[in-house]
């Protein structure tokens, strides 16, 4: 499959692109800034310039799958959380529907809720709105909900659950492997699951969701 990675320059997404490039699928790295291109050129990975605040159909067209790994991050205002994590994600979902990219893997988070009262409620609400929108489509979606992201090396051992609340660490490398792994596992379609560090080999865990 040709797989568009949205937010490709992020830490987790860069791992995603590397794993895809080493595997059977063909990644297309969606980046916002031409200055981010060199990294992907070095990986031999094609890039497409697109911005979630603008139409992205030119990026999605011709792709079979989307991995949505974009995020406005903690350094921007709450307006960007709505523009990127909420309506930017919905825009990507609509573009996947219109352009026939039927497989959609969403990088979400634990504890997202449209009525969140958490310390980062604006983020948890935005993510929940996007996830809920995705669930109402007929796309072959998977929603992966990690905990606190770490830069620890992949252990290849995780814990998954259909219960997408809670807390704990998730290494970005394990997370990236899960996002990519879902593409080949039919059982993950139309599922949401939490992903934390744990004791179960990743592939076995993904097959259990």
Contact 175, 153 (CB under 8 A): no
Active-site residue among 68, 104, 123, 141?
Answer: 123
Closer Cβ to a copy of itself, 80 or 172, answer by number: 80
Q: Least distance (Å) from a copy of itself to the CB of residue 133?
A: 8
Q: Least distance (Å) from a copy of itself to the CB of residue 94?
A: 5
Using CB under 8 A, list all residues that contact a copy of itself. 53-55, 77, 79, 82-83, 86-87, 90-91, 94, 97-98, 129, 133
Q: Give yes or no: 123 in active site.
A: yes
Q: Least distance (Å) from a copy of itself to the CB of residue 97?
A: 6
Closer Cβ to a copy of itself, 93 or 209, answer by number: 93
At 3, list the tokens.
């797989």
Closer Cβ to a copy of itself, 43 or 83, answer by number: 83
Half-sphere exposure of 73 (CA within 13 A, CB side): 7
At 21, list the tokens.
């490039």
At 63, list the tokens.
């792709």
Residue 92, burial from CB neighbour count under 10 angstroms (0-12, 13-18, 19+): buried
Closer Cβ to a copy of itself, 1 or 82, answer by number: 82
Q: Least distance (Å) from a copy of itself to the CB of residue 79?
A: 5
Q: Least distance (Å) from a copy of itself to the CB of residue 86?
A: 7
Contact 27, 5 (CB under 8 A): yes
Closer Cβ to a copy of itself, 4 or 92, answer by number: 92
List residues with catalytic annotation. 123
């Amino acid at each position: 499959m040709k797989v568009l990675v949205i937010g490709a320059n992020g830490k987790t997404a860069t791992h995603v692109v590397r794993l895809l490039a080493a595997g059977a699928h063909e990644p297309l790295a969606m980046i916002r800034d031409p200055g981010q291109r060199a990294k992907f050129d070095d990986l031999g990975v094609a890039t497409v310039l697109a911005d979630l605040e603008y139409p992205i159909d030119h990026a999605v067209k011709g792709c079979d799958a989307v991995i949505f790994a974009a995020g406005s991050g903690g350094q921007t205002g709450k307006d960007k959380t709505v523009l990127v994590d909420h309506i930017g994600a919905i825009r990507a979902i609509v573009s996947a529907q219109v352009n026939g990219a039927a497989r959609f893997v969403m990088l979400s988070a634990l504890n997202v809720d449209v009525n969140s009262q958490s310390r980062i409620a604006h983020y948890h609400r935005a993510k929940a709105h996007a996830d809920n929108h995705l669930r109402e489509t007929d796309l072959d979606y998977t929603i992966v909900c990690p905990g606190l992201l770490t830069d620890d090396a992949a252990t290849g051992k995780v814990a998954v659950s259909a219960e997408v609340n809670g807390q704990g660490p998730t290494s970005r490398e394990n997370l990236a492997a899960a996002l990519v792994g879902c593409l080949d596992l039919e059982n993950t379609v139309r599922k949401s699951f939490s992903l934390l560090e744990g004791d179960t080999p990743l592939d076995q865990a993904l097959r259990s969701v």
